[in-house]
Chains A and B, each alone.
Chain A
Amino acid sequence: MDLVYTSEQQDFRAEVRAWMDAHVPKEPLDTLECRVGFDEHVVWERTLASGNWGMVTWPEAYGGRGLDLIQWLIFEEEYFRAGGPNRANQNGIFLLGPTIMEFGTPEQKARFLTPMAKGETMWAQAWSEPGAGSDMAAISSKAVRANDSGGDHYVISGQKTWSSRAAFADWGFGIFRTEDGSKRHKGLSFILFDLNSPGITRRPIRQLHGDTGFAELFFDEVRVPVENRIAGEGEGWKVAMATAGFERGLMLRSPGRFQATAKRLVELYREHEAEASPAAREAVMTAWMQAQAYAYNTYAVAAKIMAGGSIGAEASLNKIFWSELDRAMHRTAMQLLGAAAELRRFDDGRMNQWLEGYIFSLSGPIYAGSNEIQRNITAERLLDLPRVGAG
């Protein structure tokens, strides 16, 4: 147990801070969930890449910095301290990138990781289908193998939905049924596809606030080369589970994000202190306490992984904790704001980030495996309670 940063770690923090202070946009970008805002975020991804800060945990060979997990945490802390924008390339950095590193061929690594690291290609994920949400093994979209004059390829037909970033991204990844008549977890393959391929129709889903962050994807005999399949045919479930593990695990939500929110909440409370009740005060303190607890836990998990351990079903505890913390913090802010809570822009023109954040926080307990699923996983795998309903 050593809770003091080394001088190298302190120097690294100073280096990140200096770069972020010089480069983070002074004005918040428009929301990622509209064309203009998405493009602004892509520009930011390229700015990050220009300083080699895009994919800091990736090995240097793939365009990263090869940072260890403690350096990653320091990077994230400084990123959120500086008010860095949300990452348009979140899916690529934390989900697909690690998946390709683990399961991809050398050719796939060169073809996909390098442009991802440079901020040239933005990725959407395509897991869910209309009939396969929490029960992802129920997917039915097909990829039929065909070999003709156009080469060895798959022909994809079907529909994906709740595909995040798909309204504006360049490429997508998901699992498809490659074995005719197969059931549940068997006969699935993990396939990457160009979102501009002939036969793909994107229909942006209008969200409750009117913006379009995700989309439905319709596949009408879309040809995808076999070289776009990650790992073996029929191994899609295994690959997808590993990817979902990355998502629920350490890196999806770094603590810096929540600590920054907690700090802003304390500042908001101070502005409203004169009229706020003690109940609000306790909610604000709880925000700080839980954001800190999440940070300690993340440092502990990072140390465990660096010592050769791994993160298993504990990832479900993490996902429940941060998603419900995020919602509670934003709810508290909305309560403090009172009449101003409903304004998308305050009367001085500033974006009401609390409202945007509150709406976004409502998705946290739903996406990346709903918290009901996470509680089942916790009960069944950590507490060894009987499994029910799982195929």
Chain B
Amino acid sequence: MEFLLNEDRLALAETVRDYLAGTHGPDVLRRLDAGDNRDPAIWQGLVNMGLTGLLVPEEFGGLGLGFVDAALIARECGRACLAEPLVDTAFVAVPWLLSQGDTAQMAAIVSGTAKPSVAHRINPWVSDGDGAALDSIDPLRNLTRPVGTSSSDPLLLDLGALMSAAQLVGLAEAMLDQSAAYAKIRTQFGQPIGAFQAVKHQLATAAVAIEFAKPVVWRAAQALSDGLVSAPVHISHAKVAASDAAIQMAETAIQVHGAMGYTYEVDLHFWMKRSWALSGAWGSRAFHLKRIDDAVIGGGLEIGPDQTFA
């Protein structure tokens, strides 16, 4: 029993964090938003880091890592508000295709030439698909109506929900940092607004929600890796906790930014819009609560102090 993200994992995530911080800042989001939302050079950069092959077995040229590693990278994608569909392709479609025994596209995914996203009955739209474009509040999602059939496999939904939860954690963390930074530079009544307890306490409350969403996400990722029968419940828990933290953080962030937060000029809106999108994606809050309800109140899951890791 060791609930610890080891240093190798964190080192990889930090490398990705630094890379995205250096190459994928708000200026890039603005450039993409003014253009056609995508830049092949960004995708190639992710491919060069091996991220498209993170979950692809080594025999197909990938890194062969696991869901906890992928969740940590997905968190960084959220933190950077990454426009490219890395998570949909590499952390959702890849493991699902592997579970179906479908390895045909693996080498092409690793090399960056194939970018599959798989739709689900409950999550019918995909990023960068072949079909008609949809008008999302977050244009950088490049959301499309898929041409092909969609799956109703619960594993696909679980993968999508888990990786959305991980991105939501990163989105929330980024909004917390942006809001704290703004509260330090914006002055009123002769002092930074961050010196006022009314501002401090809102940010602290959001920080609590983020702090206690994180371990739920890591636990869910490990439960899926370990093949626990209860993994879907823990993934639903992660999705609800991360969505709630991100939405609370987004609402706090715009409040702290004041009227500036309502403008296109301040960067916050990119992260807010992604948070709204991912909170509903891969199963709504109500859907995931229902799964928790069936397990916890319905009695499908052992609960109590001695059942922490049931």
Q: Could you list which residues of chain A lie within 8 angstroms of chain B, going by C-beta atoms?
A: 1-6, 9, 13, 17, 70, 76-78, 80-81, 255-257, 259-260, 262-263, 266, 269-270, 281-282, 284-285, 288-290, 292-297, 299-300, 302-304, 306-307, 314, 316-317, 320-321, 372, 374-376, 378-380, 382-388
CB of B77 closer than 8 Å to a CB of A? no
A17–B289 Cα gap in the complex (Å)?
A: 32
Residue contact B289 to A256, C-beta cutoff 8 Å:
no
Residues of B within 8 A of A317 (CB): 207-208, 211-212
Chosen A-B contacts, 30 in total, with CB atoms closer than 8 Å, are A1-B3, A1-B4, A1-B5, A1-B9, A3-B3, A3-B222, A3-B226, A9-B1, A13-B306, A77-B305, A78-B305, A259-B307, A270-B297, A281-B293, A285-B297, A288-B296, A289-B216, A290-B212, A293-B237, A296-B216, A300-B4, A376-B200, A378-B208, A385-B183, A386-B184, A386-B194, A386-B195, A387-B195, A388-B195, A388-B197
Residue contact B3 to A379, C-beta cutoff 8 Å:
no
A306–B241 Cα gap in the complex (Å)?
A: 27
* B residues 192-209 in Cβ contact with A at 8 Å: 192, 194-195, 197, 199-201, 203-205, 207-208
Our pick among A6, A76, A285, A295 for the contact of B293 (Cβ within 8 Å) is: A285
Give the 8 A-B CB pairs with smallest separation, nearest first: A379-B200, A256-B305, A296-B215, A375-B204, A378-B204, A385-B194, A299-B3, A303-B4
Residue contact A263 to B304, C-beta cutoff 8 Å:
yes
Residue contact B297 to A281, C-beta cutoff 8 Å:
yes
CB of B303 closer than 8 Å to a CB of A? yes
A290–B205 Cα gap in the complex (Å)?
A: 15
Query: Interface readout for B267-308 with A: 1 if CB under 8 Å, 0 if not?
Result: 000000000000000000000010011001100000111111
Query: Nearest-CB distance from B120 to chain A (Å)?
Result: 24
A320–B304 Cα gap in the complex (Å)?
A: 22
Our pick among A289, A297, A385 for the contact of B195 (Cβ within 8 Å) is: A385
Residue contact B296 to A266, C-beta cutoff 8 Å:
yes
Residues of A within 8 A of B241 (CB): 289, 293
Query: Nearest-CB distance from B273 to chain A (Å)?
Result: 23
A248–B308 Cα gap in the complex (Å)?
A: 22
B176, B208, B218, most chain A CB atoms within 10 A: B208
Our pick among A77, A285, A296 for the contact of B289 (Cβ within 8 Å) is: A285
Query: Nearest-CB distance from A314 to chain B (Å)?
Result: 7
A77–B207 Cα gap in the complex (Å)?
A: 27
Residues of A within 8 A of B289 (CB): 282, 285
A17, A307, A378, most chain B CB atoms within 10 A: A378
Query: Nearest-CB distance from A37 to chain B (Å)?
Result: 23
Residues of B within 8 A of A289 (CB): 216, 237, 240-241, 292
Residues of B within 8 A of A316 (CB): 204
CB of B2 closer than 8 Å to a CB of A? yes
Residues of B within 8 A of A76 (CB): 305
B240, B293, B296, most chain A CB atoms within 10 A: B296
Residue contact B304 to A3, C-beta cutoff 8 Å:
no
Residues of A within 8 A of B223 (CB): 3
Residue contact B306 to A385, C-beta cutoff 8 Å:
no
Residues of A within 8 A of B6 (CB): 1
Residue contact B201 to A379, C-beta cutoff 8 Å:
yes
A224–B176 Cα gap in the complex (Å)?
A: 50
Query: Nearest-CB distance from B16 to chain A (Å)?
Result: 18
- Closest B residue to A386 by CB, please name it: B195
User: Known: A1-B2, A296-B3. Is A372-B306 also a contact (CB below 8 A)?
Assistant: no
Residues of B within 8 A of A5 (CB): 1, 309
Residue contact B308 to A259, C-beta cutoff 8 Å:
yes
CB of B30 closer than 8 Å to a CB of A? no
Query: Nearest-CB distance from B96 to chain A (Å)?
Result: 22
Residues of A within 8 A of B203 (CB): 378-379, 383, 385
A81–B237 Cα gap in the complex (Å)?
A: 23
Residues of B within 8 A of A3 (CB): 1, 3, 219, 222-223, 226, 309
A120–B184 Cα gap in the complex (Å)?
A: 52
Residue contact B305 to A383, C-beta cutoff 8 Å:
no
Residues of B within 8 A of A383 (CB): 176, 180, 194, 200, 203-204, 207
CB of B213 closer than 8 Å to a CB of A? yes
Residue contact A255 to B240, C-beta cutoff 8 Å:
no
Residue contact A80 to B305, C-beta cutoff 8 Å:
yes
Residues of B within 8 A of A380 (CB): 200
A288–B293 Cα gap in the complex (Å)?
A: 10
User: Known: A296-B3, A303-B2. Is A386-B297 also a contact (CB below 8 A)?
Assistant: no
CB of B168 closer than 8 Å to a CB of A? no
CB of B68 closer than 8 Å to a CB of A? yes
CB of B103 closer than 8 Å to a CB of A? no
Residues of B within 8 A of A302 (CB): 3
A78–B304 Cα gap in the complex (Å)?
A: 10
CB of B150 closer than 8 Å to a CB of A? no
Query: Nearest-CB distance from A70 to chain B (Å)?
Result: 5
* B residues 144-203 in Cβ contact with A at 8 Å: 176, 180, 183-184, 191-192, 194-195, 197, 199-201, 203
Residues of A within 8 A of B219 (CB): 3, 296
A354–B61 Cα gap in the complex (Å)?
A: 58
Q: A78-B306, A266-B297 are in contact. List 5 more A-B contacts (CB 8 A).
A: A1-B218, A293-B212, A375-B200, A376-B197, A378-B200
Residues of B within 8 A of A306 (CB): 2
A386–B187 Cα gap in the complex (Å)?
A: 12
Query: Nearest-CB distance from A366 to chain B (Å)?
Result: 15
